[in-house]
Amino acid sequence: MTTVPETAEDQACHSGPHGYIQDKPRYLNRLKRIEGQARGISRMIDEDVYCIDILTQISALNSALENVALGLLDDHLRHCVLDAAREGGEEAEIKLKEASDAVRRLVKS
């Protein structure tokens, strides 16, 4: 993994306030529900539940995680990337590449 030297603006974006800060309680609640779903899947396997039912729950869990990831990506684009784009220059290029790489990782998973 290649790292890019951080500028003061980049460090500020990493240390906060992050774009998701307004939705932080919603993200945390959603992640708690996702944790519960994962525990439920584990219980299903332990209780020898029909495999298709388990796969259905895994699909729902994947979808829930994807929705959290897409929400965070949207917040990142609206906060860090937009701010950097307004400033222009090298920082804007770095943030655009960072966002593209994040999208690429999400698409691969």
**Cα(109)–Cα(69) distance, rounded to whole angstroms?**
11
- Dig out the tokens for 37 from the structure: 């779903």
Structure tokens at 106: 């999400």
Looking at residue 23, its pLDDT comes to: 81
Q: Give the model's pLDDT for residue 68.
A: 94
pTM of the complete model:
0.74
Q: What are phi and psi of 93, to 5 degrees?
A: -60, -40
24-65 tens-digit pLDDT: 899 999 999 999 999 999 999 999 999 999 999 999 999 999
